């Protein structure tokens, strides 16, 4: 948590003020990314409503790629072969990028 706080430009107590423990922080980050990717996919499904199955599949794949491109730190958090510790470091990078105004 100290490394995440340092990378985010804040203090460990501030991180703990928002998240009870590492698992809560990781869970919140995973929930956020799940909600974002779900939004990308459901928007694609709505756009391809009434189209052929093949066009719907293409729309879904394109949405997945759009999510991966726009969430360069979030995509590997969901889909990377990371350990819990590595996922926490990705959370720290994502938090740092979002605090600095970068797209993460």
Return the pLDDT at 39: 95
DSSP string, the chain: -HHHHHHHTS-HHHHHHH-SSHHHHHHHHHHHHHHHHHHHHHHHHHHTTTS-HHHHHHHHHHHHHHHHHH-TTHHHHHHS---HHHHHHHHHHHHHHHHTT---
Task: Give 35-60 pLDDT, tens digit per residue.
Answer: 999 999 999 999 999 999 999 999 99
Structure tokens at 22: 């590492």
Task: Give 8-33 pLDDT, tens digit per residue.
Answer: 888 999 989 988 888 888 888 888 89
| pTM for the structure as a whole | 0.69
What is the average pLDDT value for the chain, to the nearest integer? 83
């Amino acid at each position: 948590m100290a490394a995440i706080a340092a990378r985010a430009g804040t203090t460990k107590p501030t991180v703990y003020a928002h998240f009870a423990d590492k698992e809560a922080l990781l869970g919140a980050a995973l929930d956020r990314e799940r909600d974002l990717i779900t939004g990308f996919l459901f928007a694609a499904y709505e756009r391809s409503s009434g189209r052929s199955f093949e066009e719907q599949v293409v729309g879904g794949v394109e949405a997945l790629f759009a999510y991966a491109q726009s969430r360069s730190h979030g995509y590997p958090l969901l889909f990377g072969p990371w350990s819990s510790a590595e996922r926490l470091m990705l959370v720290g990078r994502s938090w740092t990028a979002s605090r600095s105004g970068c797209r993460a």
